[in-house]
Structure formats: structure tokens, C-alpha cells
Amino acid sequence: MSNLGRYIIFLGKLFTNPESFRTYVKLIFDECAYIGLNSIVLVAIVSVFMGAVSTVQTAYNLISPLIPDSVIGLVVRDLTILELAPTITAIIFAGKVGSSIAGNLGTMRITEQIDALEVMGINSVSYLVLPKIFASVVMYPFLVILAGALAISGGYLAAELASVVGSADYLMGLKMNFNQFSVTFALIKSVVFGFLVSSISAYMGFYTKGGALEVGQSSTKAVTVSCIAILLSDFVLAQLLLVR
């Protein structure tokens, strides 16, 4: 509970004594490029294979002749939009971006760069962490959209290459009983996940104590706690927004 209280106080410091708007604009653009653009390749590769595997495994389990093949496309679509694209990508995001944020801030802490900023009267939390959180909240939904599109496309490629379902049936399934709120729900989750990963990782890195070994431990802890927070918030959001 003490860590939770310290984390909430840490978030409160983000908006205390901020720097000029112009300073944040440059920092945010730099973080958007680092967090978003550098994650595209990894997210793309994982998403294509997630969609392909989902298609093959769904076709393998739907063995009843009473179930039309178009259901495969429907299952892959809903599974991708509701869970695979926002949640599985968030785990990858935590492993890549979260560990990097914690490692960078932890290194700055043990090399006393953060202390130097505070001596100069700069709010180090706002200056160093706020751009990272803002960039994550902005860029992660775009990664989720990319992941969803590529996963569904990967499912189509699997349907064509593995011949587990006809492409016409797969495309028909993508259009069946589509609920537009599923996309809204995925985007809401992506904003929450982006905030949790960046803020938790920044918190772990910012309060690192010791040396290089502790920086590595902070990065590992950041990924672990972020993954737990992602899964817990995923359940809470599903209960609040999906269960009627």
C-alpha cells in the first residue's frame, strides 16, 4: 500500500511547477518517435502471426459440419479487436517500451542526473516523465489499430495459404454481426494500457537506488508490475463496459 500511495503522489507531481509549453512540445515529439515508431516493426511481426495462428486454430477446433466456415472470420475479428490487439500488444509494449523507460530513468537516477535537474529548480518528474506518458497515451492506440489491421490481414493470409477456410467465407465472417462498440472498447483499453505501462515504468525507474544491478531489477519489476496492471485493468474495463 505504501508503494501505491507513493505512486499516486508521483503522478500528482507531474503537474506541479511545469516547464514552458514549448519545452514539452519538443520532448513529446521526441518521445513519440522513440516510443511509437521504434515499436512498429515488432508489433507488426507479432500481429501478423497472431492473426494467422488464430485463424488456423479456430478452423481446427470448429469441426462441426453444422457451423459455417464464415464463423472463423467472425471469431478472429472479435478476438483480435477485443483482446489480441489491445492486450497482447500491451504485454509486448511493456516488455519493450516499459523496460526502456525504467532503465533510462534508473540510469539517470544513479548517475545523479535527476538530482542535478532538481538542484537547478526543475521539476524532474514533470520534465522527464510527463512527455513519456503523454507520448505513450497518444501513440499506443495507433499501435493497437495497426496490430488489429495486421492481425486480421494475417488471418486472411493464413486462410489463403493454409487452405483452412475459403477467402470469401473469411471475408464474409469479418462482416457478420459487427458491433462498432468493440472498436471503441479496444481504443479505451489502449489509452488505459498506454498510461499504465508508461507511468508504472517511469515510477520504478525514477526511484531506483543503488547501481547498475538495481537498474536492471527496476526494469524487470517495471515489466512485471505493468503486466499485472494490464491484466487487472482489462478485467475491470470488461466488467464496466461490456457486462450489462
pLDDT band, residue 133 (cuts 50/70/90) = very high
Helices (H), the chain: 2-12, 21-35, 40-61, 70-79, 89-93, 99-110, 113-119, 124-128, 130-161, 167-175, 181-206, 212-241
* pLDDT tens, position by position, 193-214: 999 999 999 999 999 888 888 8
pTM: predicted TM-score of the whole model, two decimal places: 0.90
Please provide the average confidence, as pLDDT, over all residues in the chain: 88
Assigned C-alpha cell, 200: 508504472
Give the separation between CA 100 and CA 98, rounded to whole angstroms. Answer: 5
* pLDDT tens, position by position, 35-55: 888 889 999 999 999 999 988
Q: Mean per-residue pLDDT for 166-191?
A: 88
Per-residue pLDDT, 36: 85
Q: Mean per-residue pLDDT for 132-156?
A: 93
Q: Is the pLDDT of residue 13 over 80?
A: yes
Assigned C-alpha cell, 158: 493464413
Q: Is 236 exposed, middle or buried (0-12, 13-18, 19+ CB in 10 A)?
A: exposed
CA-nearest of 72, 47, 46 to 59 is 72
Give the separation between CA 159 and CA 184, rounded to whole angstroms. Answer: 27
Amino acid identity, position 215: V
